[in-house]
Structures are given as C-alpha cells and as structure tokens.
Structure 1
Amino acid sequence: MIESFCFPLMPLVGSVYLHNDKRRWIVVSNPSLCSIISKWLGTEAWIRNVDLIAGLREYAKDPDLHTEWKNMKRVNKMRLAEYIETLTSVKVSLDAMFDVQIKRIHEYKRQLLNMLGIIHRYDCIKNMDESDKQRVVPRVCIIGGKAAPGYEVAKKIIKLCHAVADKVNNDPDVGDLLKVLEHVHSETSSAFENTTWVFIPDYNVSVAELVIPGSDLSQHLSTAGHEASGTGCMKFLMNGCLLLATADGSAVEIAEEIGAENMFLFGAKVDEVPALREKGTTLKGSLQFARVVRMVRDGYFGFKDYFKSLCDTVEDGGDFYLLGYDFASYLEAQAAADRTFVDQEKWIQMSILSTAGSGKFSSDRTIEEYAQQSWGIEPCKCPSDFQNIAFHAVLTWHYQPCILIWRLKNQ
C-alpha cells in the first residue's frame, strides 16, 4: 500500500554516480590538453567516446609526451598566475607546486586540517637553519569556497586563514619561503617568490576553469564516510592534477581506476571511524597536532578569544571529524607529495596516468546509465539540422560533438 499510494515512483529511483562533462572541463577549459590527447591518440573520437582516453597509458613514459605535458601544464599555470596577479597584485613562481583545495567551507571537508598543515609548515621553517631551508619545496597554496551565512565555525575557519596570513607575511625569519596571501575585496599583500597561500574570494565555475587546469596538487580531505560522491576531484583528475585525498567518496573509485600508487592517500578508513569516535576524550592526536592547535589557542595568530571555540571543536573529545587522528598521516602524505614533485619525471608520469584513468567519470556514462536504468529510452545520433532538436535552446556549442542526444517522444 505504501509503495502503491505514497511512493508510486520509488521503483524508478536508482543510484547513479554524478560525473563531469569532459567537453567543459577538458575541451573548453584546457584546450592545450585537448590537443595533446588528440595528437597522441591519433583521433578526436575520444571527445565522443571518452573510454578511448585510456590509450594514453601506452605513452605514459614517453619523453616526448612528457615534454609536451610539462609545457601544457606551464601554460595553464601561467594563466592562473596571471589571474592571481590581477586579483591580488602578487606574482607567484611558476616553478612552485600549485596546491589547491576548492570546496564549500565545512567542518567535514576539513579546510581546517589544511590550515593547520600550513601552520605546521610555517613552524618548521621557523626552526630550520639556512641549509634546510634550501631544500623546502616551494608551494603556491590556494583555497577557495564559500561558507553558509549562518555557519559560524566555517566563518571562523576563513578568519583563521586571514589571521595566519597577517602573521606569516610579516615574519622576517621566514622571508620568501612561506607567504600566506589574504585577499578580501581590494586588499592585497606584499609580493613573494616561493611558497604562497592564496584565498580566492567568490569562487565559481568561471574561476574553476582557470584554477583546475593550472593545479599540480588537489586536496580532498573529507573525513571518511562523509562525502557522498565528490565530483570536484574528477575535474582535477581529468586535467592531470595529482590528488591528495582520504579514502572517501569518489576518491575510492578513482584509486581503483588509476592505482592508489598514483595518488597520495591518507587517513582513517570509513570502517574505522565509528570506533575512533567512541574513544572520545581518550583519542589523542599527534604531538605536531597539539602544537599547532596550541599556537592558535594561545593567540599566536591573534584573536585568542575568537578562536577558542574553533580549537574546542578539535580538542578535549570534541574532534568529531578526526583532524587530530589523521594529522600525522596527512603530514606524511604532504611529505610524499614534496618528494615526488622534486622528481618531475615521476610526477608527470603520474599526471598522465591520472588523465588516462578519468574516462569512467564522464557525464556521458551517467546519462547512458540513466537512459538504460531509469528512463528506458534509446540514443539517437545528432542530426545535421540542429534546429529540429527540441532541446536546442538549452544546448551550448561545446555539447555539439556529443555522440548521444536524447529525444523525447512526440516531439
């Protein structure tokens, strides 16, 4: 009775992963990469049948492809650097690792973990001698996202970003090894050369089309078991960006496709999380974690009273999202990323394999599964007379190469 009268459409509801449109995130956003893929595959058919992109695996160690890939990445980093300079009046080094986390600001997405990691890096540099500083891998650390108007903790995380920026940018002991750039409206910070932290305000799709192709490393830090899918990392994957991620959401499937050895995975597994939470106040983070949280709590970055409640969310049994437990593993993953970036041949090979393994995450597959499992309709080829298509008004030019267009009956 419940099925018949209350939920008659329930049998039509199915579970299909959301994926991304390669025409938007490669063909339009990254034309240099599009040209390379077509050249090395010897065809543009991969735009219509993205499974063909797996053919790049055959050339993952080819030095000529490595050269073209590196040049492509540098062109995209240059575009992003120009945008950053326009936005902030700050020049960034193209030789630095462009390290990105762009997501809605939320506790479970753990932008706070990223910030505490930056504080740890700053603290380490402060205690290094000059010879050790020479071995620091330069980074441009970029974070973007928006917080809900009533989400107080998210607002405090953003405030911490700016507080850390004010401290680090004016510390003569650190110099150019680490600079944290805050940008709100028209305010800017001083120029720097090596490691940089950039907060991008008003993050949106247009900005993403610059940031994603120009990224070297993308962070996906959600506590295991909290990310339903996560299409963001798929966009980065398509563009050859290496992923530093927890075993959560679509990162699990991505690891199956490209191999966990081509990612930087860390943190508790989803089946470990409930038991870890049950430990409550007996669960302690690493000494490094305790130190960086204490720096914030003691007012090292100012606003001592304001950040007290933020620190309470990760200490004294309140660490629901397990930042303390995952912190040591997170630092190890970051160190592995640093070591790999120094070995550019290995880094580029992993980048090529990332793009080659992205075919499964195309929206074409999503639409095809919906058509077969839920809609019960058959595909038809795009006709030459585009004006006769009922959906013409909502189709944009970059969808025209699509092999499948779904036509409703009686239209």
Structure 2
Amino acid sequence: GDIGDRLKVIFLPDYNVTFGQRVYPAADLSEQISTAGKEASGTGNMKFSMNSALTIGTLDGANVEIREEVGAENFFLFGLTNPEVLNLKAQGYVPRRYYASIPELRGVLDLISSGFFSHGDPELFQCVVDNLLYDDPYLLLADYQSYIECQDKVSQAYKDQENWSNMSILNVARMGKFSSDRSIKDYCGKIWNAPPVPIKLKDYVQKDAQLRVNKF
C-alpha cells in the first residue's frame, strides 16, 4: 500500500534473550504504554534505554525511575498518572464519552466495527470494540489523545537527528542505576540479608595457579 515501504508490523517468533540482543540495539523508540498503576513496565524498557532507544511511556513501573535518571527532557511522557487513574475510576469511568468527543478516535473504532480490517465481517472484532466502549479496564480511550499528541512530539524530535542522538547518548550514560551489579547488591542488602564476603585477590590467584599446576 501507500506506506508499505515506510511502516511494517513484524512478529518475531520464538523470542528469547539471545534474540533480544539484536532487537534492543536496533530500536529507536521504546513504547511502554501500560496504564499507570499496573506496574507492567519492568525490565524490557530498561534494556531498550540502555541500548540507546528513547522511551515514550506512562508513569508506570520502571518508567518512573528511568525518567528520573535520564531526565524528563529525554523522555516522552503521556497519559494519566496513577492518582488520576484512581480518581477517574472512583468518579465512574465512561469510555463512550471519549468516543463521542474525539472524532479521530470515533473514526478508528467505527472503521473496525465496519469490518474493514476483517474482510467485511463486522462481527469478528466487535467484541474488542464493545470492550473499549463499555468497559475499557485499562483506560485506553482516556489516554488516547495524550498518546497521539505525544507521538507528534516524537516525530518532531526525530527530525532533528543531532539532538535525537544526543538524547540517546544521555539515555545510555544515565542508566547506570539499572546495572545488574547494583540490582544484586540491593537484593543482598535489602532482601536476602547476605553481607559481602571479602576476598584477598592475591591469595585467590595463587590458589588458582596452584590448582592449575596440580592438574598437570
């Protein structure tokens, strides 16, 4: 189609850590779009950021810490905060209000309902549309407009490749907090109560050398 050489959706089968070593460095933008308060953004966003990808995300999970470390100016923030999510639900969340007030969003959902994406079958994806209009437990419609506006900011930022590269470098440089060394140290001190054991490196090297000699 018109965007076939510009935009593709690719499914990566049998995804694992080894495969991830190729995927993370190849990404320019990390999409961490979980609803604030769900704690769904965990280690994947750290791996992307450590490998220079900028993040567009909500204030959920590790996104909060990443944004604090890399700087708000190097993070594309959108969506409701956790208190705002709780307040909206307490008031009585009505997703159809967003459907009625945002023409673009209404057009998207109507197109899905029409069967445009299901070979003319309007029933195939109707359950998805109904869930969004009458339940929407993750408040996707509430975050929709903020996400679209934030993506416009991403597009503008990407046009300035020099500044984008600078933001990427700062992302990598400021991600030291999320190293495995720091993580294990915290686990030992705060959870496992396992104090560090001093090792005399000279004695260790000598014993290792002697073991090697004895093998031969």
The alignment's TM-score, normalised by the length of structure 2, stands at: 0.84
Matched ranges for 1:197-346 at <5 A: 197-227=9-39, 230-277=42-89, 278-281=91-94, 284-285=97-98, 286-302=102-118, 303-316=121-134, 318-346=135-163
Deviation at 1:276, TM superposition (A): 1.6
Structure 2 Cα separation of the partners of residues 386 and 254 of structure 1: 43
Q: What's the CA shift for 1:375?
A: 2.4
Once the two structures are superposed, residues 315-339 of structure 1 have per-residue CA deviations (whole angstroms, 9 ceiling, x without a partner) of 13x1111111111111111111111
Query: Is there any run of 5+ residues in structure 1 with no aligned partner, and where?
Result: 1-170, 180-192, 389-411
Aligned positions, number: 199
Higher relative contact order structure (alpha carbons within 8 Å, sequence separation ≥ 6)? 1
For residues 194 and 240 of structure 1, the distance between their equivalents in structure 2, rounded to whole angstroms, comes to 22
Equivalent positions of 1:3-402 (< 5 A) are 171=1, 174=2, 178-179=3-4, 193-227=5-39, 230-277=42-89, 278-281=91-94, 284-285=97-98, 286-302=102-118, 303-316=121-134, 318-373=135-190, 374-381=192-199, 383-384=204-205, 385=208
1:205 Cα deviation (Å)? 1.3
1:229: Cα distance to partner?
A: 5.4
Q: Assess, with a 3 A threshold, how the Cα gap between structure 1 residues 387 and 219 changes in structure 2: closer, same or farther.
A: farther
Alpha-carbon distance, 1:280 to partner: 2.6
Contact kept? 1:297, 1:308, Cα under 8 Å: yes
Q: Which residue of 2 aligns with 1:185?
A: none
Tell me how far 1:289 sits from its aligned partner: 1.6
The one-letter amino acid paired with 1:291 is G
Q: Which moved more, 1:204-213 or 1:350-359?
A: 204-213
Tell me: CA distance 1:229–1:375, structure 2 relative to 1, closer, same or farther (3 Å): farther
Relative to structure 1, is the Cα distance of residues 223 and 351 closer, same or farther in structure 2, using a 3 angstrom cutoff?
same
Distance in structure 2 (CA, Å) of the matches to 1:265 and 1:225: 15
Residues 386, 323 of structure 1: CA spacing in aligned structure 2 closer, same or farther, 3 A cutoff? farther
State the AA in 2 paired with 1:254: I
Shift of 1:368: 0.9
How far apart in 1 are the matches of 2:157 and 2:131? 33
The answer for unaligned runs of 5 or more in structure 2 is 212-216
Counterpart CA distance in 1 for 2:115 and 2:40 is: 36
Rounded Cα–Cα distance in structure 1 between residues aligned with 2:52 and 2:148: 23
* Alpha-carbon shift at residue 283 of structure 1 (Å): 5.7
2:137 partner SS: coil
Deviation at 1:350, TM superposition (A): 0.3
* SS of aligned partner of 2:97: coil
Q: Quick check: which one's helix share is greater?
A: 2
Post-superposition offset of 1:386 = 9.5
Q: Aligned-pair distance for 1:305?
A: 1.2
8 Å CA contact 2:115, 2:124 repeated in 1: no
Distance 1:210 1:387, change over 3 A: farther
- In 1, are the aligned partners of 2:109 and 2:129 still within 8 Å (CA)? yes
Distance 1:201 1:337, change over 3 A: same
Look up the SS of the partner of 2:56 in the other structure: strand
Identity, % of aligned positions:
40
Aligned to 1:45: none
Change (3 A) 1:200 1:229: closer
RMSD: 2.1
Could you list the runs of 4 or more consecutive aligned residues of structure 1 that deviate by over 6 angstroms after TM superposition?
none
Cα distance in structure 2, aligned partners of 1:244 and 1:305: 33
Amino acid at match of 1:347: W
Are 1:219 and 1:245, in contact at CA under 8 Å, matched by a contact in 2? yes
Calculate the TM-score normalised by the size of structure 1.
0.46
- Contact in 2 for aligned 1:225/1:249 (Cα 8 Å): yes
Distance 1:372 1:282 in 2: 45
Q: Structure 1 pair 234/386, CA: closer, same or farther in 2 (3 Å)?
A: farther
Contact 1:238 1:358 in 2 (8 A): yes
Q: Is the 8 A contact 1:288 1:328 kept in 2?
A: no
Shift of 1:258: 1.0
Q: Rate the CA distance shift 1:256–1:238 in 2: closer, same or farther, 3 A.
A: same
Q: Is the 8 A contact 1:283 1:325 kept in 2?
A: no
Q: 1:229 to 1:342 in 2, by over 3 A?
A: closer
